């Protein structure tokens, strides 16, 4: 055999060996290959088709407790970047954990073995999408009332530890919206307060606590949802402030968080007509995201949209597919969609078509995918990262978090705030006389009856619709009482209270959630604020009434007509 023939056979063998190694995955790059996050992200991106890169920008929700066929298709056939867990997925904790494991297993079957971002909204307090065995907590405004950054840190830490057990690796918290408009129906007690610097300090501490627990924190809702009474789920709020006001108020927490390295920020569906953003939602506005957030604030992390199915953005954009394209062009890196579209939905096909025909858009999508990959590589490969496959034994042992439960009760106790009237404590059952406990929450009544065992009870609906029957029943019970302990949570509660204004009774009003309703019933004997409907908050309130703990919280915003 000639030398040339030997060479041909030799190099053919080498070529076949390399081909075999590549096709079997041996020696090929994947998510778990060694390397620095930035370098490995480049290698992964180079190995991706445009379809795979676009898929990394998708984060989808689904309906039901178990994985739907549609969400499985998006993971197995498209290899999307993440999933979003909503309250409708979470009533059964063990079922949720099994679902997370099933979805991650499907994701890791791709050639590049890239795990999913598994995100939820677990702010604490009012917003608790992962229900079941997880802790109910006093919430952000209670942290603001305590005024202690370590409380924010520990709240984030213990919430994060609970999410980690369930395999959830990303939390859409902290909410650093300011309590600027006190009639806000969306923000309310989700805010730390109305002071920008305080919100920034507490937001940083909360985020650091989440990171300590291995969770990716996400500040929201940029540029700020606190100065509107409207809800962007239904309409596009138009906030009439100048950019100078925005820069020195709502944007202060984001400026602070960016300097501290917050890894992700969520954009809100809000318009600011008196700025260069005009009437377009900030979530799809290039000036707000690229110019202000990226260039002026110098934010380096991941930008993710709020749900693109919210009317605040789809109505303005004209369609979901149009909103998605505008969001990416503006500078968002992840498109969050609460429901699962069809694989052939225009939200996918139109973006693929745009990548084929618009080089600048193709580059923007691949840049977004790169940033998503870097975030995953930085957080999901850490020793502290949540497990891909949650374990039942760990759930039984760690949910609710035993240390967290004690901390949240302590926080609730320190946040109880006297807003109006006089401190009624200590009010022993013998001193209170005949007591009536009225509330829209069964837990409030149950805990109240432990403090005042012989009290009468009146449960009224948590509703916006007034009822003549409720008013008459309530007034009849008040006539027989010496002391009324009333849980106030909304406008209907105010209406009921006003019917007994001149009853001559001792009236102690305990506000749950937003305490602004107390300013409409300042004639009460005592107006006391707790900031959530968690059992811990109600235990703290009645403990304060009995004089077992001092009332020491400070109202974290200036209420109209009531001193701070």
* Two structure tokens written together for 223: 């540029």
* CA atoms lying within 13 Å on the CB side of residue 144: 35
Which one of 66, 233, 353, 482 is the catalytic residue? 233
Q: Which residue has the tokens 């992964």?
A: 44
* Two structure tokens written together for 181: 């408009």
pLDDT at 27: 54
pLDDT at 230: 81
The answer to whether the beta carbons of residues 58 and 78 sit under 8 Å apart is yes
pLDDT at 561: 62
* Two structure tokens written together for 482: 């010496």
Q: Which candidate, 43, 182, 218, 136, places its Cα nearest to that of 532?
A: 136
Q: What is the pLDDT of residues 123-167, one digit of tens each?
A: 999 999 999 999 999 999 999 999 999 999 999 999 999 999 999
Distance from chain centroid for Cα 464: 25
Q: Dihedral of the CA atoms 139, 143, 149, 152 (nearest 10)?
A: -10
Phi and psi, residue 484, nearest 5°: -110, 125
User: Residue 326 CB: number of other CB atoms within 10 A?
Assistant: 21
Phi and psi, residue 9, nearest 5°: -65, -40
* Two structure tokens written together for 119: 């995100």
Helix (H, G, I), strand (E, B) or coil at 545: helix
Four-way CATH pick for 416-545: 3.40.50.1700, 3.40.50.300, 3.40.390.10, 2.40.50.140: 3.40.50.1700
pLDDT at 185: 79
C-alpha distances (whole Å) from 345 to each of 69, 74, 332, 420, 428 are: 15, 12, 20, 55, 64
The answer to whether the beta carbons of residues 78 and 369 sit under 8 Å apart is no
Q: Which residue has the tokens 């078509």?
A: 353
pLDDT at 184: 86
* CA atoms lying within 13 Å on the CB side of residue 95: 13
Q: Is residue 225 among the annotated active site residues?
A: no
Compute the distance between CA of residue 408 and CA of residue 174 in angstroms, rounded to an integer.
17
The answer to whether the beta carbons of residues 124 and 138 sit under 8 Å apart is yes
Instruction: Give CATH for domain 31-38+57-402.
Output: 3.20.20.300
Domain ranges of the chain: 31-38+57-402, 416-545
pLDDT at 242: 97
* Contact residues for 280 (Cβ-Cβ < 8 A; gap 6+): 271, 316
DSSP 291-307: IIIIIIS---SEEEESP
Compute the distance between CA of residue 401 and CA of residue 158 in angstroms, rounded to an integer.
7
* Residue 265, strand partner residues: 219, 303
- The CA-based angle 378-379-380, given to 5 degrees, is 110
pLDDT at 28: 86
Q: Is residue 306 among the annotated active site residues?
A: yes
Q: Beta strands 219-222 and 216-217: pairing type? A: unpaired
Phi and psi, residue 271, nearest 5°: -115, 145
pLDDT at 17: 40
Q: Which residue has the tokens 């809100």?
A: 268
pLDDT at 448: 98
pLDDT at 544: 98
Distance from chain centroid for Cα 142: 16
Compute the distance between CA of residue 306 and CA of residue 320 in angstroms, rounded to an integer.
13
* Residue 272, strand partner residues: 278
pLDDT at 56: 98
Alpha helix (H) residue ranges in 2-139: 3-24, 37-46, 50-55, 69-73, 93-107
Handedness of CA 269, 274, 280, 286 (dihedral sign): negative
User: Residue 54 CB: number of other CB atoms within 10 A?
Assistant: 25
pLDDT in tens, the chain (564 residues): 444 444 444 444 443 343 333 433 445 899 999 999 999 999 999 999 999 999 999 999 999 999 999 999 999 999 999 999 999 999 899 999 999 999 999 999 999 999 999 999 999 999 999 999 999 999 999 999 999 999 999 999 999 999 999 999 999 999 999 999 998 878 999 999 999 999 999 999 999 999 999 999 999 999 999 999 888 888 999 999 999 999 999 999 999 999 999 999 999 999 999 999 999 999 999 999 999 999 999 999 999 999 999 999 999 999 999 999 999 999 999 999 999 999 999 999 999 999 999 999 999 999 999 999 999 999 999 999 999 999 999 999 999 999 999 999 999 999 999 999 999 999 999 999 999 999 999 999 999 999 999 999 999 999 877 789 999 999 999 999 999 999 999 999 999 999 999 999 999 999 999 999 999 999 999 999 999 999 999 999 999 999 999 999 999 999 876 543
pLDDT at 564: 39
What is the chain's length? 564
Alpha helix (H) residue ranges in 74-148: 93-107, 140-146
Which one of 121, 194, 227, 306 is the catalytic residue? 306
């Amino acid at each position: 055999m000639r030398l040339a023939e030997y060479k041909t056979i030799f190099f053919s063998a080498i070529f076949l060996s390399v081909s075999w190694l590549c096709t079997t995955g041996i020696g090929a790059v994947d998510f778990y290959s060694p390397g620095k996050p930035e370098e490995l992200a480049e290698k992964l991106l180079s190995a991706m088709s445009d379809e795979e890169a676009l898929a990394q920008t998708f984060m989808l929700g689904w309906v039901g407790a178990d994985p739907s066929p549609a969400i499985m298709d998006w993971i197995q056939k498209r290899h999307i970047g993440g999933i979003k867990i909503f309250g409708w997925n979470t009533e059964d904790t063990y079922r949720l954990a099994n679902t997370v494991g099933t979805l991650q297993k499907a994701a890791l079957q791709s050639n590049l073995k890239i795990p999913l971002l598994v995100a939820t909204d677990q702010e604490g307090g009012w917003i608790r999408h992962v229900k079941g065995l997880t802790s109910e907590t006093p919430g952000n405004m209670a942290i603001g009332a305590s005024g202690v950054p370590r409380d924010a840190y520990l709240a984030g830490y213990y919430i994060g530890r609970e999410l980690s057990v369930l395999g959830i690796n990303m939390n859409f918290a902290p909410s650093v919206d300011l309590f600027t408009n006190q009639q806000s129906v969306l923000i309310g007690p989700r805010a730390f307060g109305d002071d920008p610097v305080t919100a920034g300090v507490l937001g940083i501490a909360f985020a650091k606590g989440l990171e300590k627990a291995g969770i990716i924190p996400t500040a929201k809702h940029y540029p700020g949802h606190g100065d509107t009474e409207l809800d962007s789920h239904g309409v596009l709020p138009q906030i009439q402030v100048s950019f100078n006001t925005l820069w020195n108020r709502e944007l202060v927490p984001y400026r602070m968080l960016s300097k501290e390295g917050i890894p992700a920020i969520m954009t809100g569906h809000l318009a600011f007509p008196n700025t260069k953003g005009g009437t377009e939602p900030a979530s799809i506005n290039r000036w707000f995201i690229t110019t202000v957030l990226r260039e002026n604030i110098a934010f380096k992390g991941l930008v993710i949209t709020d749900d693109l199915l919210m009317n605040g953005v789809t109505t303005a954009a004209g369609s979901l597919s149009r909103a998605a394209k505008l969001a990416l062009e503006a500078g968002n890196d992840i498109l969050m969609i609460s429901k699962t579209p069809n694989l052939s939905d225009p939200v996918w096909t139109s973006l693929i078509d745009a990548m084929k025909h618009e080089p600048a858009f193709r580059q923007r999508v691949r840049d977004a995918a790169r940033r998503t990959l870097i975030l995953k590589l930085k957080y999901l490969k850490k020793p502290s990262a949540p497990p891909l496959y949650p374990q039942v034994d760990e759930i039984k042992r760690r949910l609710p978090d035993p240390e967290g439960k004690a901390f949240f009760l302590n926080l609730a106790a320190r946040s109880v705030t006297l807003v109006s009237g006089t401190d009624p404590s200590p009010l022993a059952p013998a001193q209170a006389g005949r007591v009536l406990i009225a509330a829209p929450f069964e837990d409030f009544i149950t805990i109240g009856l432990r403090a005042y065992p012989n009290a009468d009870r009146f449960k009224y609906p948590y509703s916006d619709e007034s009822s003549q029957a409720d008013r008459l029943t309530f007034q009849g019970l008040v006539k027989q009482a010496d002391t009324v302990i009333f849980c106030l949570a909304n406008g209907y509660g105010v209406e009921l209270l006003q019917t007994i204004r001149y009853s001559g009774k001792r009236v102690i009003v305990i506000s749950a959630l937003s305490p602004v309703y107390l300013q409409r019933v300042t004639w009460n004997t005592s107006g006391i604020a707790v900031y959530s409907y968690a059992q811990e908050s109600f235990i703290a309130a009645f403990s304060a009434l009995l004089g077992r703990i001092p009332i020491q919280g400070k109202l974290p915003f200036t209420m109209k007509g009531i001193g701070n």
